[in-house]
Amino acid sequence: MPFHAGELGLAAASDEQLLARAHSDGCIVVTLDADFHALLALAGTRDPSVVRLRPKGQPAGVVRVISKAATFSQAQS
């Protein structure tokens, strides 16, 4: 089930804290930030999985599909 970090009380958490929580909960991180992959590399780990969305330069349709998929998934939960 997708959720925003803020829904877990992690709105002010550092990227490292978010990665640790995702790792312990078995979640996938979906982000607009480029630094999550670097943090994993520096830590020498591959978990949790991180998906970086790059909406800039993408056709508006692609961004809408991603947004609808997330909304649909939340509605199914």
Q: What is the pLDDT along the chain (77 residues), one digit of tens a residue?
A: 667 888 889 989 999 999 999 999 888 888 888 889 899 999 898 888 888 877 676 666 666 676 666 655 555 55
Position 13 scores a pLDDT of 93
Element spanning 40, H or E: helix 35-43
d(CA 10, CA 4): 9
Pick from 58, 59, 8, 54: nearest CA to 30: 54
SS3 state at 46: coil
In which domain, by residue range, is 10 found? 5-76
pTM here is: 0.69
The count of domains in the chain is 1
